[in-house]
Amino acid sequence: MANYDQPIIIKKVKKHHNAHHGGAWKIAYADFVTAMMAFFLLLWLISMTTPEQKKGLADYFAPANVSESLSGAGGVLGGKSFDTSGAKTTDASVDALPGVQSTDETTRMATLESGDGEASAAATGKGEQSQASSKDIGSTYNGEFQSAAASIRQAWQAMPNITDIADNLRVEETPEGLSIQIMSDAGKPMFPEGSRYPFEITRQAIAALAPTLQGLPNQMQIEGHTAAGGTYTDPRYGAWELSADRALTVRSLLGEFGVSEDHFLSVTGRATSEPLLPNDPYLSANERIEITLLHAAPPVPPGLKL
């Protein structure tokens, strides 16, 4: 006979799970993946940039210190400045030294002592007035050049179809005047190979210059440059002829869009004689058109009343 009074025992087994290790390793792994992605992106960008772009980036973060001499201040002009006549003169003046008179001052004093004081004073006044007038004209043109540069950049920015060649267009002030450069680049030439006529996108960029250049009284120089290593099928037509023809074409285009003939001083072909990058004359950036709006005042300054 079965024993129905025997108790029923139910055994419950509890499984203990190990404690979690935390999520710190996930954060570290995410940082590692992000850093590797940034590293490979940097490598890809470096491999895609041209030598001209790399040089431009290097100059932007560490601009080169150009010096004409190894002595003096060592600046761009070596402690010298350009006067109104264009000759280099030192900034220091002997008038600043105590007890020392300049040659002009000595001559002036001797003239006053000799009895010609009134004539000398009148001549001195005219000379000072002439210098002040020259300085005023120079400062006026510097301001106009800055406004012109801003207008040109704005005109280019307003043309979305030339965004692809924005790096090929440069406007900067130089000792000669306002320099406008239209350069070729690797994979982005401004002219078809061996042709004097620019691409349509280059033509539009040149046309955008016309209103600003016509609005200023200054004359301009147009220079054509080619890169070394070009091949020419015609033995009678080479780099000199091509660079000159391209400069003439640009002059013709500016005239077509409103720039009058009296604004042009010279149109020259330079071939490969003046590379933009002398260390590598074969680079595409050496092939360019350079338009220089000169600092020199016109025969009749603007606003002059006779």
pLDDT in tens, 181-190: 999 988 889 9
Q: Which CATH number belongs to the domain containing residue 281 in this structure?
A: 3.30.1330.60
> Quick check: is 280 in a domain?
yes
The reply to whether 16 falls in a domain is: no
Q: Does some domain include residue 187?
A: yes
Q: Is residue 267 part of a domain?
A: yes
pLDDT in tens, 13-34: 766 555 555 678 888 899 999 9
Residue 174 forms part of a structural domain: yes
Give the chain's domain count: 1
Residue with tokens 């025992």: 9
Q: Which residues in 19-48 are b (16+ Cβ under 10 Å) and which e?
A: eeeeeeeeeeeeeeeeeeeeeeeeeeeeee
pTM over 0.75: no
Q: Mind listing the pLDDT tens digit for each residue in 190-230?
A: 999 999 999 999 999 999 999 999 999 899 999 999 999 88
Tens of pLDDT, residue by residue over 90-122, are 444 434 444 444 445 555 555 445 544 444 444
Q: Do the domain assignments include residue 21? A: no
Nearest residue to 196 (alpha-carbon basis) of 243, 137, 146, 232: 243
Q: Which residues pair with 261 in a beta bridge?
A: none
Residues 261 and 255 sit within 8 Å (Cβ to Cβ): yes
Range(s) of the domain holding residue 219: 134-294
